[in-house]
Structure 1
Amino acid sequence: MENSKYLSVGALTKYLKYKFDQDPYLTRVFIKGELSNVKKHTSGHIFFALKDGNAVIRAIMFSRSANGLKFEPEEGQSVLIQGRISIFESSGQYQIYADSMEIDGVGLLFEQLEKDKKELAEKGYFDADHKKAIPAYPGSITIISSETSAAYRDMITTLRRRYPLVKVSMINTLMQGRGSKQAVIDSLEYADKLNSDVIILARGGGSIEDLWTFNEKDVSLKVFNMKTPVITGIGHETDTTLVDFVSDIRAATPTAAAEVAVPNVRDIAERLQQSDTFMMRSISKRIDMHKKRLEALSNYYKLKNPELLYDQQTEKLATLKTNLDTRMNVILREKRYQHAGIKDKIEYKSPTPMIGRYKEILNETKTRLDDEMTDKIRDRKKELSSTIELLNSLSPTNILLRGYSFTTKNGSIVRQSEELDTGDEIETTLGDGRITSKVTEVKNSDRE
């Protein structure tokens, strides 16, 4: 048997790869799908699978293309990919080599939704502390929905069946499509001014695009800032929108929202019946108890002989008075002892004796100081008189009055004849005046 007509696996794979690479319809393809099994290699390459409801294809994006992505690929994202289809020879599997990737329109919405959800959660908008309590028995309810929808009719039917006493107001609102976001916000603002006890924001099921108005951040913030409690019932039980997280109560469906908003009259009637039964039993028990107590009191021997009560209380009062008097005497005696002890301590520590001693010392000191001061003054007067007499005896005026005189030249006293020369003008001071003269001759006792 000839083997030449058989191809090896590698040759067949190479041939198929060649065909794939030469096919103009496979060298440039545009594919839409959901990311699955995303893995990013340390080299920067991204390995993943692209799937939809019918098929799965393996894919790879090399680092040169992955570095230009404007988002981080994650599991479940809906993306639009451009690339080429080829075969990986080692495994023989065909796969897409992605050159570019961007999030699909709906995928972009989901990405923004996740960002908004994360932001509001971090700010605490989902916390239970911000949830307003729903009245147990509301008097009025405002429904924001589409008046023609089956959801509205179901809610009205439920409210009338469960709690016909409640007053229901309807605000017909555009719930999907262009302009629905602002319409819902305006309706919420108007409903908040109606002073209703509860507001129900609800619509029936639909596609994610139909429900997207309730994933808008502005609508969610409006619901959060409402003064009136808000119950949301959006879509089916599996649908959860952003407003459901910020509303005061999230109901699975519009009908469930109506059930949450009001009590069931049957339950109320049952509770009233139970309360009535409980109260009747309690009253009967209390009546029986008081009857027995009354009978016991009526048979009490002291009540049959009231004077026994008086005598007993009189004796008890006398005993208490005696005990009180005894106790008061003991307390007064203790207080007198304490007072006496305090008085002795005060007298012992009194400063009066010390003050008397210091007064005596002060008087003695004053007398001594007065005597010393008198002696000092007398001695100083004697010294002053002696000094005055001495000064008078040495006074030039007194000397002059005794016949003496003194001569000055140019204001200076002349003490020796040699200080003068012939022709000098001198002044002589006497006891009764002055004489100005001119020297005509100078005789010195030492001169010849």
Structure 2
Amino acid sequence: MADAALISVSELNRLVNLSLNRQFPALGLQAEISQITVAASGHWYLTLKDVQASVRAVMFRREAAALTFEPQVGSTVSMNVSVGLYEPRGEFQVRVLNMQPAGAGGLYEALIRLQRKLEAEGLFDPARKRPRPSRLRHVGVVTSLSAAALRDFLVTLRLQAPRLRVTVLASLVQGADAPAQLVAALNRTAELDIDALAVVRGGGSLEDLWAFNDESVVRAVVRQGVHVVSGVGHETDVTLVDYAADHRAATPTAAAAWLAEPDLAHRNRLNTLGRDLRLSIQSLLGTLAQRLDRAQALLPNPRRAVALNRMRLEQAARELASARRHWLADAHRRLERAGDQLQHLGPMAVLGRGYALVTGPNGQVVTHVAAVEPGQALQVVLQDGDLGVRVETLSKAPRF
């Protein structure tokens, strides 16, 4: 390795390109076109294929302008090409020098036959298609969980219809197993309470989108009991699912916008009604304010009536307070007189005038001479104490 000359990657790619140009200066080639991209510069970038392989190709603006027909994806064409390497990326490619139609490609022919068959059955009949509901609460979307199309779809719905519930039905969208998975996902919609369904996928070649041309997938779309919108590929991509769907959107983003329209229109309508209601209320309040001003001009000044009533209340309060004081003073005097009378008539006052209270052995009051006998012990209560006495003599004649 030390003796070998070192070259750069750019030099390596240049040498390989020169070698290919010398060894294959021009070749006749027949292939099927599976993808076409026309750049703003006017150059065409194509993918050419047969049943076993594919190759990238470029057709510069001058050669493309000389074409006498318009190549289509799926067409089989005959062309003269030079073989080389696209040096900046080290990619093998052929340069198309001229091109002639050579009949439709196998995939394209199969697609046309199936389209005619399903169309004859009425599967694409506009009269069969379901209208979009005026109100959507829950939508399903059939696509790959890793697809950029799903992200674009969800972002658009989140921005335009944030209250809309979304259920993702995951499926492959490309490859041999994609049709069976798409049918299984579409069959699951019967288990969901959805109002509409979207089938979305990003752009690609005819082969990339072929699962959406599968007859079983198309029939599964037709069997749906809800409105179906397809957003498969880019605007120039058309599949049989687009024909079978109730509405075709140019892209996954456009499909989300289509489903968001009812909610967006409903919110706009609510905003309009809210604005009209605010204006109506403001107008009504203005009218009522004017009526109130006119009514106030006709009515007496309420402040004067309030002031007069306040004076009356204050006077009544003063009179009530005075009457309460007089009543309390009179009641106090009456209470004092009653107390004096009670004190004058009380037992102690009577005892103080020389009287005594006599009780027998059992505590009963003695009021008659006949109630006692000689020798009986009695209790005599005086003003300042008690006396224990014994009866010696009895006399029924009063002393005074």
TM-score, normalised to structure 2, is: 0.46
The structure in which a higher percent of residues are helix is 1
Of the two structures, which has the highest relative contact order with CA contacts closer than 8 Å and spacing of 6 or more? 2
Question: Which structure has the greater CA radius of gyration?
Answer: 1
Q: TM-score of the superposition, structure 1-length normalised?
A: 0.41
